């Protein structure tokens, strides 16, 4: 069962962090030349399809992560430091996503629906900043997890 939890945990992390990497590093510069109404409408559509995957990833990460903490490591008291760092960074990323989802994202959707392009641009800029922060945290988290397992913090 631990092997399945590790596989699901890794898959969920890849979906979330990889999706942010693709959106920020590949898609964002590629659509920068589009007219604002096309670019903003595209981003609203992208987020509408990506965010359910992020919610699912967060759920899988939490369930599989806590399963592993208590079944593979015997609880937090006996977990290695990289597991504690993974836990803290994962909760921070989840909190940032929840804020993004309930604050700037609804403003983006509403502004696009009303064709208020300046307001939509402002909302997208807020989303972009949060995604960048979460992407950086996610990359750090991956390094912590992969290198921590092999003694980075010893």
- pLDDT tens digits in sequence order for the chain, 154 residues long: 999 999 999 999 999 999 999 999 999 999 999 999 999 999 999 999 999 999 999 999 999 999 999 999 999 999 999 999 999 999 999 999 999 999 999 999 999 999 999 999 999 999 999 999 999 999 999 999 999 888 887 6
Q: What are 13's two structure tokens?
A: 């992390």
pTM for the model stands at: 0.95
Q: Give the separation between CA 76 and CA 81, rounded to whole angstroms.
A: 9
Q: Answer for the pair 56, 11: CB distance below 8 angstroms, yes or no.
A: no
Instruction: Supply φ then ψ for residue 32, to 5 degrees.
Output: -60, -25
Q: What is the pLDDT of residue 123?
A: 98
pLDDT at 79: 96
- The DSSP-derived string for the chain is -HHHHHHHHHHHHHHHHHHHHIIIIIIHHHHTTS-HHHHHHHHHHHHHHHHHHHHHHHHHHHHHHHHHHHHTSSSGGGS-HHHHHHHHHHHHHHHHHHHHHHTHHHHHHHHHHTT-HHHHHHHHHHHHHHHHHHHHHHHHHHHHHHHHTTTTT-
- pLDDT of 105 reads 98
Looking at residue 154, what is its pLDDT? 66
């Amino acid at each position: 069962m631990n092997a399945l939890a590790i596989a699901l945990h890794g898959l969920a992390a890849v979906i979330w962090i990889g999706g942010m990497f693709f959106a920020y590093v590949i898609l964002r510069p590629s659509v920068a030349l589009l007219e604002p109404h096309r670019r903003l409408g595209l981003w609203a559509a992208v987020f509408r399809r990506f965010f359910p995957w992020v919610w699912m990833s967060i759920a899988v990460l939490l369930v599989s992560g806590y399963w592993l903490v208590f079944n593979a490591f015997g609880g937090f008291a006996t977990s290695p430091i990289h597991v504690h760092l993974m836990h803290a960074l994962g909760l921070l990323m989840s909190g940032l996503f929840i804020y993004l989802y309930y604050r700037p994202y609804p403003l983006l959707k509403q502004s696009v629906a009303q064709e208020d392009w300046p307001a939509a641009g402002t909302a997208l800029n807020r989303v972009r900043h949060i995604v960048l922060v979460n992407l950086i945290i996610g990359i750090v988290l991956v390094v912590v997890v992969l290198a921590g397992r092999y003694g980075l913090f010893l």
